[in-house]
Structure 1
Amino acid sequence: MAAKAEEVDVDGVAVRLTNPDKVYFPKLGANGTKGKLVEYYRTVASGPMLTALRDRPTHLQRFPDGIEGEEIYQKRVPEKHPDYLETCRVTFPSGRTADALKVTHPSAIVWAAQMGTITLHPWQVRCPDTDHPDELRVDLDPQPGTGFAEARTIAVDYLKPVLDELGLVGYPKTSGGRGVHVFVRIRPDWDFIAVRRAGIALARELERRAPDLVTTSWWKEERGQRVFIDYNQNARDRTFASAYSVRATAIATVSTPVTWEELGDADPDDFTIATVPALIAKRGDPMAEMDSVAHPIDSLLEMAAADEERGLGDLPYPPNYPKMPGEPPRVQPSKKVAEHWDEHGNPKT
């Protein structure tokens, strides 16, 4: 017999909860149930997580039967949904549209957990203007042979100094896995193409300063044992795990904002659904001031223009995108015929 549904109060909104004893994280046993996941999200939703997600179209990474079951990446809110939910119309690279979850109240976050959502993935825009990002996102993605220690070193020793030189304030967080994410609040004055171009310029500057440690190569065969700066995370419909989102790991790690000082000694496995609420209560939210200043990206676009003058133009988009203006051919390097390409990877005419 199915367990009886109950209702939980989330800042004045009643959210229906079913099957709270279902185990989502088997390694954690009774501490890894759906009820524990909902309890965690209920704790953080009213404060820092709502700040991170407010008015953002958000996709849901769902595991209705736990992390060892089927994964559903849901971009659309079901037609039948509670009245307290709001939606936001987004346009995908294909030109198709969808009504995504728009987070405006903690109940939306708890509802997502009730639906089996482990991780919430927000866009870098705020509704209703879904064409102009207000975040520049830097994704430090360790490749085989590297890990969190290497990503942390790049962030602290190379990325932060570059941001400081440019007068930009970055806010780091653990990815919940081996990577590091850094957000920069920017003015919503540029479209996705320009913001992605700015992200490429920043990534290339890191690559110049640490060529043995950093790569911007989209092609895995060229990356080696370096940290990949995934510039395409600034493209339309590419999303990060939000701050304070749980990840589908055995110990229920959490993508957790940290100060730059904390990042230097951080271990991503220390941040879990069992530990993060107490950490927030103890020292607050390191991203609390992120909305206080929105930066221009003119300096990064000037760097991009200088790169272009040196023959460094655009880089490949993900394979599901239509061919973009100025984009180089999406041909894997090992499949190129050498005499047909110049030294910059562009086709000879």
Structure 2
Amino acid sequence: MTDIDKDILPAFAGKRALILGGLGFLGSSLALRLAGAGAKVMAVDAMIDEYGGNLFNIEPARDAIQVNFCDIRDASAMEWLVRDQDYVFHSAGQVCHLKSLSDPYPDVDINIRGTVVVMEALRKVNPRAKVVKLGSRGQYGPVLTLPAGEDVVPRPKGIYEISLLAAEHIIQSYLSAHSIPCVLTRLTNIYGPRAQMRHNRFCVANWFMRLALEKEPISVFGDGLIKRDFLYVDDCVDALLALAVHPEAAGGVYNIGHDRPSHFRELAETIARVEPGASWRYTPFSAERKAQEPGDFYSDITKIRTLTGWQPRVDLEEGVRRTLDYYRQHKARYW
């Protein structure tokens, strides 16, 4: 197994890393790890309301991380910001699959047009930078055979997931036409510290933990037996960094998930076991959630494990414990 601290992090010392969506959940987690490794980090965030951008997310390394408040759809800003960067981690986007049911235009405008703006900026001023795109397992849509490998033909159900798949294809086209190196990732249900906790429209595992901390019952939809491979955020960051530095990763699509899936009832039971006074109950699906629910999903991580040696290190109970500890301490910054 890859030792991230010994084998991967030293490669980023002195390198320049631009993180789009850098004050959000995953972006800030990347920023902190890269800053700790000695990289010169620039976090870019539009701070769109309810999307999770939070300056407190980078507080532990605030003096080591530059911040720029701008939108990836701003072509002039992107051309300036991508200049001289060694790595561009693209985690900016419209991130709520439920929102796309009532207003699909931000998915098209941010996820598709915004990605074109970023790639055009790289083509013009810095085509050597390595792009790491953070995508979603939702791009697969419903799958018949599990675990889902990268060779599964995507059949996304909603505009949100379609827009992410389109962004992936756009980035691949810039590799093909302009030789801009890229790594494309499809992430599962990531949870952990620094995710927004004000609403339940994304990051369901974190929302379950907010309910537990508030001593409100956790609502488990249906029979609770739908499976997901919940992945702790630090494991996700390890995977992204391992792919970023691997010389043979460019051009590939990689699942980043957990090789031990859990169902939602198990997640709720784990939270209730870790957090005193927490409880859960069954709840019928709402119409909008039922329309978007793809059923069981867990990803095959053989490809990334074979290439880089990465595999998850944090099990569900330990990840839940760490997450609850974080929000218990910093509740005022997220509620």
TM-score normalized by the length of structure 2? 0.29
TM-score normalized by the length of structure 1? 0.28
Which structure would you say has the larger Rg?
A: 1
Structure that is richer in helix per residue:
2
